[in-house]
Amino acid sequence: MSVDPSVKRVVLAYSGGLDTSVIAKWLEVERGVEVVTFTADLGQGEELGPAREKAKAMGIPDKHIFIEDLREEFVRDFVFPMMRMNARYEGDYLLGTSIARPLISKRLVEIAHETGADAIAHGATGKGNDQVRFELSAYALDPDIKVIAPWREWDLTSRTALIAWAEAHQIQVPKDKRGESPFSTDANLLHTSSEGKVLEDPWEETPDYVYSRTEHPEDAPDTPEYITIDFEKGDGVALNGTAMSPATLLAALNDLGRKHGVGRLDLCPRAPRDRADHARSGRRASQGRTDAPLRRAGIQRPLVQPRARNAAGGLRSEPGESGGHRPAEALQGSGERCRSKVTPLALLGGACHLRGRCGRIRPEGRRRLHQTQRAPFAPSRQTRQIIARSRFATKR
C-alpha cells in the first residue's frame, strides 16, 4: 500500500453505515489524514441525523461534517434528462444507482475545494462499476484530484475482519451487521435495487420482502386510478393540474406506484444476481420471467461465430465474404481476442439503437452500436501502389 505524503485532508462519501465508518477511522489511523464527511440526501428514505452523530463520535469536528439535501438537483439535472433520452444500460438495465454517482462526485470535488482537501475517498469495492463512476466523474471535474479507494488497498478482505477492526477501534457495530445479509440494497428517490444470496437463483421466486417500495400487485386496488401529468420541454411539471417541483412530482408518483403495485422489475442482466424495485417500471415480478427459461435453454452464444485465424495469423476468409468486419465482430471483436459474447436476445433488444431505426442486424450491415455509418474506405494512390507491389512480389 503506497501512501501519498502530500495528502493531508480527505473528503469521504459517508453514508453513516459500518463500511464508511470504518473507512473514516482507517483514513485517520492508517493514513494519518484529516477526514471531512459528506452525506447526500437523494431521497433514500433514511434518517440522516445518525450519520452526523456517528461522525462526531469518531472525533470529526462539526464544521467538517456535510449533510446536504440534493433531491431537487438530482431529479432536475440527472433523472429528468435520463428519462428524456430513455437511457438504459444495454437497452434493458435501468440506471437508478449509476445516475446518482456523478452528482455525489460533483459535491465531493466541490467540498474538497471549499475545505482545502487534497483528495476524495469512496467506499465502492474494487470489483464493481461504482468505483469507475465515482472516479471518472471526479477526474472530469478536477483532473488533479487524488482518489483513495480503501477497498482496493486495505487487508480487510472479509466481513469478519471488518467487524473485528471496527470493534478494536471502538466503532459501534449494529447487530444486523454481524450476520451475512441475505441481500444488499441501494436506494434513492428514483429506485431501490437489491442483490444478494436470496436472489441469485433465477428459478427461485423473489421473496416479497425484497420489494420494499411497492405493494404486492395482488394486494393492489382492483379499481384503476387515472392521473394526468403536465410536461414542459419534456419534463414533468404538474400532477393532476397541481404544479410541483421535480423531486415533489417524482415522490408523488412513487406513492401512486406503491399503492397500485406498479414499478417491480425482476431482471438478470448478465448474471443471476440483480433484482430491482424501480419507481418507473410497470412490469410485475410474477410475470415476464423470460430470463430463467432463456438462461436454462443455453442461449449464450454469439450471433455469428468468430472467424478462425490462418497459419499466418490473419483472419481466414469464408465463402461469400466480401471482406471487412461482420456484425458480430463489430460488436465483440474477432478471433480469440473477442470480448464477452453477444446473445441473440441482447442484439434484438438493442436493435432500436441502430441509427435510430428498429430492425434486426443484417449480415451485410457492418454496423456499430451508437455510431453513425462511416464512409467506405477509399485507399489513396500511394496505398494502391504499395498493395500492387506486394501482390506482384507474392506472385514471384
The set of catalytic residues is 19, 101, 130, 184
> Beta-carbon neighbour count of residue 335 at 10 Å?
14
Using CA atoms, how far apart are residues 378 and 249, in angstroms rounded to an integer? 54
C-alpha cell at 58: 469518531
Using CA atoms, how far apart are residues 390 and 372, in angstroms rounded to an integer? 33
Half-sphere exposure of 103 (CA within 13 A, CB side): 22
Using CA atoms, how far apart are residues 120 and 115, in angstroms rounded to an integer? 12
Q: Are 97 and 193 in contact (CB under 8 A)?
A: yes
Using CA atoms, how far apart are residues 148 and 124, in angstroms rounded to an integer? 10
Using CA atoms, how far apart are residues 318 and 42, in angstroms rounded to an integer? 55
Q: What share of the chain is helix, strand, coil (3-state, %, to 5)?
A: 35, 15, 50
In order of 15, 150, 152, the CA distances from 127 in angstroms are: 20, 12, 9
Using CA atoms, how far apart are residues 123 and 151, in angstroms rounded to an integer? 7
C-alpha cell at 33: 489524514
Using CA atoms, how far apart are residues 213 and 210, in angstroms rounded to an integer? 9
Question: Which are the contacts of 270, defined by CB distance < 8 A and separation ≥ 6?
Answer: 340
Phi, psi of 381 (to 5 degrees): -60, -40
Using CA atoms, how far apart are residues 73 and 230, in angstroms rounded to an integer? 20
Sign of the dihedral defined by the CA atoms of residues 314, 320, 330, 292, in that order: negative
Q: Are 193 and 276 in contact (CB under 8 A)?
A: yes
Q: Is 394 helix (H, G, I), strand (E, B) or coil?
A: helix
